Amino acid sequence: MPAGGYTSKRRVMERYKIIGFISSGTYGRVYKAQGKNGIVGEFAIKKFKPDKEGEPQYTGLSQSAIREMALCTELSHLNVVSTREIILEDKCIFIVFEYAEHDLLQIIHHHTTPQRHCIPAPTIRSILWQLLNGLLYLHRNWVMHRDLKPANIMVTSAGSVKIGDLGLARLFFKPLQSLYMGDKVVVTIWYRAPELLLGSRHYTPAIDMWAVGCIFAELLSLRPIFKGEEAKMDAKKQVPFQRNQMLKIAEVLGVPNVKQWPLLSSMPEYSQLSTLSAGGNSRVHRPIGLENWYNGVLKQNGYPPVEKSPTGEKKAAENPGPEGLDLLKALLTYDPQQRITAEQALQHKYFTTGEKPSMNCFEGITTKYPSRRVSQEDNDIRTGSLPGTKRSGLPDDSLRPTKRLKEG
């Protein structure tokens, strides 16, 4: 072995041609690449930045990189982004994934410009079916994703939906330490389950199901259903009560109570719920209710009324209908023990009524979604530093809420 340490037999630039820069996140940057020297196809290459970037003596690997590498090499499913290879070169880690032309955030945004026009009901049904199919695979293999949101759900040009970004995913079967001790804050704020907002030290895959409910609602309304503001950790890394986010949920669903959630009183932040109605917020006392929210969204976004055939059967699903509302209620259930599971959701009447959901979410629609934006700026994957990240190491991205907070 050379005196400098490990030397990779594979080098990124020898195997891939970098097309451009896609995006930056808390842990690194993602590039679009094309295979060369016998490697065929397009790929997304994720370059992890060191935890202590800039220190010449740094030789370790970030916790997120280790997790993602370990999981990506073990998982294989149609609805989970597949990993082609992992390359360690010059103290940098590169994970090479299959390339997807779209993500759900991009698709949602497309339907808001130049004017709002709804995502077709069969498309949403297919997206949700495939998302739940991939999530069932993860949960059956004891993996919680812990960061599901539209930006992390990829869609190929063939309409295949794939769960991506496993950087915050964790095995939950016999963990070496409590999940809370490893990561005090998980899931982007708008998609964070109420048990997490109320400080639960122990949680289950039900947190992923709440996030699916939020994604379902966002596909229907074209905006986040619970768009709160995140309170940041203090200097002592104490996790604050996310009052504003809990308030946004309560304005739709009402304030949770022990009758509907028996273990609610054991939540560390239970006493904080009484403060939600402070300041005369009438919407907390008279929440809109999920059914009113749902019916209002369908009407506002122009979904046609539910029609029935002469035999009384519902026609082709141009409207998510009452079955969609029932599934949404099951996903956005306060009590995680009563919240629907991925397996139960796939057997829900929303999917079993009428034709089986297509495995091509673009089937039957004429909309042409633009390909993912690829920038030619800052597209040099060989640089040791990572342009586009702030000196703190966090992404320079103010368009969406902070991707994740990591325990210091």
Cα dihedral 336, 341, 342, 344 sign: negative
Q: Are 183 and 407 in contact (CB under 8 A)?
A: yes
Burial of 235 (0-12, 13-18, 19+ CB in 10 A): exposed
Residue closest to 70 by CA, chosen among 210, 194, 171, 173:
171
Entry field: residues in the chain: 408
Full DSSP string of 257-283: -TTT-TTGGGSTTGGGGGGTTTTT-HH
**SS3 of 84, please?**
strand
d(CA 115, CA 120): 15
Q: Which of 51, 90, 103, 147 does the annotation list as catalytic? A: 147
165 is catalytic: no
d(CA 312, CA 316): 13
- For residue 133, give both structure tokens: 């199919």
With b for 16 or more beta-carbon neighbours within 10 A and e for fewer, the 340-357 pattern comes to bbbeebbebebbeebeeb
User: Helices then strands (H, E): number in the chain?
Assistant: 13, 10
Amino acid at 106: Q
Active site members:
147
